[in-house]
A = this chain, B = another copy of it.
Amino acid sequence: MTTINKKRRLGRNVSIVGAGMSAFGAFKEKDSRDLFSEAFQEMMGHMDQGIDIEDIECGYIGNYSSDLFEHQGHTAPIMADWLGMTPVPMTRIENACASSGSALREGVMAIASGMYDIVLVGGVEKMTNLATDQVTDVLASAADGLYEVPSGLTFPGIFGALAKAHMDRYETNLDHLLKVAIKNHHNGALNPKAQFNVTIQSLMERRKSRAQERGQPVPDWQTDMDFLNDAQANPWIAWPLRLYDCAPITDGGSCVLLVASEIAGNFTDKPIHIAGIGQATGRPLHDAEELTSLSSAKAAAAQAYEMAGVTPQDINLAEVHDCFTIAEIIATEDLGFFAPGEGPRAVDEGRTARTGDHPINTSGGLKAKGHPVGASGVAQVIEIFHQLRGEAGERQVPNANLEFGLTHNVGGTGGTCVVNILRRG
């Protein structure tokens, strides 16, 4: 493909000046409107120098399938009405679990085009009103219905196949996968918005205490790894993936405010700039060149790096799409942080921990923070926004010189990948 490697530049620079997200979790009483409003109100209430809602000129909502989850289409104008923003144009962007990653790209281009100066970009998904088997079915409709779905695989099976391919080709083993879960829960425990705001260690202790309280035999787990290796506590879902290798089903909303960089100073002294954006499509898995990598991720990353003028080694931290533990390992290789097959060793060596040289998913990732699919891409951006501004609280990366952060947001089986690179102002 000749055009994909072209040099791409925005006509105007774009910055992020505000961010908000709802709590992520399972909320019986909340629908999409509630979740998105919660995110929006948090953002509006935390703008460094305030903003009038009437100054927002345009909006984008990433959402995978309010159609199937809530039997509600045409979600964007409904949100505009709910937030009191009519007649401002609002558009829904759908690229499966990469919907709000793509929405951010549309918001960036809308400003760069010259049409707008101030644009709202968010994402939302309400998932827990359906039973787990129904959610699995809705998510499966993000795979190719002609090629992938008839194989009988749903997403745990698909990512199980990628994990098996990685294990066959490289030194990857089951412990590597579990260590990704342990790390991300460790980060999630420091994130008050996370669905699993708890370490695996604490989950284990809770289970032991509960057994004791009930007078049941107390399991003989000494470490979190013992717990995760117990097939009763951590059952197989789709070999080699177990329950704790999978991101949860989540309700949540997220949003950021984008502005033309030349006016960012009107809103904050600490704007975060869009340095590079990349998006690419990939072929269904039966037609993929290999199963140990996503071609769309490599293409999107190449675009974003080229545009930002940086290399993978310039990236100080990243939020990557860990819908399953193996997906995080593959992402760190596709993004060039580690060579192909070296991702697992990096996990072993703690390089992807919050205190490592390549911190990955300091928010807890999709695994612990939760994965309301349409909201996840912007939620990743929000974590980088706070980290680069040095306001991530207990989970702040211990590096005073953070400059570049990256987000990696995957849709389906890699049909879409969006990579954004953010830079501290």
Q: What is the interface of chain A, defined by CB distance below 8 A to chain B? A: 1-4, 6, 8-12, 33, 54-57, 64-65, 67-68, 70-78, 80-81, 85-96, 102, 105-106, 108-116, 118, 138, 141-146, 277, 279-284, 287, 295-296, 299-300, 411-412, 415-416
| Alpha-carbon distance A65/B70, docked complex (angstroms) | 13
Decide if B94 touches A94 in the complex (CB within 8 Å): yes
**Which of B71, B73, B88, B138 contacts A96, CB < 8 Å?**
B73
| Alpha-carbon distance A287/B84, docked complex (angstroms) | 12
A118 proximity list for chain B (CB < 8 A): 3
Decide if A94 touches B74 in the complex (CB within 8 Å): yes
A8 proximity list for chain B (CB < 8 A): 114-116
16 A-B contact pairs sorted by A residue (CB < 8 Å): A1-B87, A8-B115, A12-B113, A65-B73, A71-B145, A73-B142, A74-B143, A74-B412, A77-B296, A77-B411, A81-B284, A87-B282, A87-B296, A89-B416, A90-B281, A111-B113
Copies per assembly: 2
| Alpha-carbon distance A77/B146, docked complex (angstroms) | 13
| Alpha-carbon distance A113/B85, docked complex (angstroms) | 25
Decide if B88 touches A4 in the complex (CB within 8 Å): yes
- Nearest-neighbor residue (CB-CB) of A414 within chain B: B77
Minimal beta-carbon separation of A411 from chain B (angstroms): 6
Minimal beta-carbon separation of A152 from chain B (angstroms): 16
**Given A89-B280, A111-B113, 12 more pairs with CB closer than 8 A:** A1-B88, A4-B88, A11-B11, A12-B113, A74-B94, A77-B411, A91-B93, A91-B95, A91-B102, A109-B109, A110-B113, A112-B113
| Alpha-carbon distance A142/B296, docked complex (angstroms) | 32
Decide if B115 touches A109 in the complex (CB within 8 Å): yes
Minimal beta-carbon separation of A308 from chain B (angstroms): 14
